[in-house]
């Protein structure tokens, strides 16, 4: 009996942790970033995400993990469709948690 009870507590703790992560990761209607914000693309095992970056610290580089991008445009929806990709290494970043597509240009 003791094993069943402790598994229930563990499952409850897991459910609470999962609910906290989901609520913190994109249940908002507003995008996480605005036009003019600088971001860096962070690779994960299965996908990529964006994190805030300092615009002033940006330097031109061929290393994609070090590049800093400026949000040039935000398009509602995750179908992509940045109309005018500009600059060096432009990126169309579909961001599922925010439900938008970010049109990014490398920050100079």
User: What CA dihedral angle connects 89, 80, 71 and 83, to 10 degrees?
Assistant: 80
Res 29: pLDDT: 55
Q: What angle do CA 62, 65, 70 make, to 5 degrees?
A: 85
The span from the CA of 65 to the CA of 83, in Å, is: 25
Percent of the chain with pLDDT over 70: 67
pTM of the model: 0.66
For the segment 59-71, what is each residue's pLDDT rounded down to a tens digit?
Answer: 777 777 788 999 9
The span from the CA of 71 to the CA of 41, in Å, is: 12
For the segment 50-96, what is each residue's pLDDT rounded down to a tens digit?
Answer: 999 998 867 777 777 788 999 999 999 988 888 877 776 788 999 88
Judged against a pLDDT cut of 60, whether residue 26 lies above it is answered with no
pLDDT (mean) for 24-38: 70
Q: Is 106 exposed, middle or buried, given 0-12, 13-18 or 19+ CB atoms closer than 10 A?
A: middle
């Amino acid at each position: 009996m003791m094993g069943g009870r402790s598994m229930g507590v563990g499952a409850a703790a897991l459910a609470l942790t999962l609910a906290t992560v989901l609520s913190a990761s994109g249940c908002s209607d507003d995008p996480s970033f605005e036009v003019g914000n600088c971001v860096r693309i962070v690779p994960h095992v299965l996908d990529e995400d964006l994190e805030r970056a300092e615009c002033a610290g940006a330097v031109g580089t061929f290393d994609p993990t070090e590049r800093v991008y400026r949000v040039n445009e935000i398009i509602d929806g995750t179908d992509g469709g940045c109309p005018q990709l500009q600059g060096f290494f432009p990126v169309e970043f579909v961001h599922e948690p925010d439900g938008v597509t970010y049109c990014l240009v490398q920050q100079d």
